[in-house]
Amino acid sequence: MSPSQLGGWIGGVLGGVIGLAGGVVGTYFGIRNTHGPRERRFMVRAAVVVWVAILLFLALLLALPSPWRFLLWIPYGILLPVGIILGNRRQQQIRREEDL
């Protein structure tokens, strides 16, 4: 293995570990910073759905052959922002209802 290949492997593994750690920390604080039990329950469910969806996306990205795996980015690019927007709206609705 050449030094440039080793650097690529180190960068890939390190980038994956840092990305995973960021996801775990973001999930933890997203749940921790909730204001009430309904909001916390919603955030836990939302976190589970997002983690499962992203793990499924990554598994399909690695398992599918080359022309098909590139098409996975189309629904991912549409569903991720839509899911974030709808999830944020629902969280704000729950927060308003709990404040009453």
Where in the sequence is the domain holding 53, given as residue range(s)?
A: 3-99
pLDDT over threshold 90, residue 21: yes
Half-sphere exposure of 58 (CA within 13 A, CB side): 8
Structure tokens at 73: 């980015």
Q: How many domains does the chain have?
A: 1
pTM for this model (two decimals): 0.86
Kindly tell me if the per-residue pLDDT of 100 is higher than 80: no
| pLDDT reported for residue 3 | 87
Q: What is the mean pLDDT of residues 21-26?
A: 97
Half-sphere exposure of 36 (CA within 13 A, CB side): 12
What would the pLDDT profile of 27-82 be if each residue is shown by its tens digit? 999 999 999 999 999 999 999 999 999 999 999 999 999 999 999 999 999 999 99
Q: Residue for token digits 């022309």? A: 67
pLDDT value at residue 29: 97
Span 14-38, average pLDDT: 96
CA distances from 66 to 41, 52, 57 (A): 39, 23, 14
Please give the pLDDT value at position 79.
Answer: 96
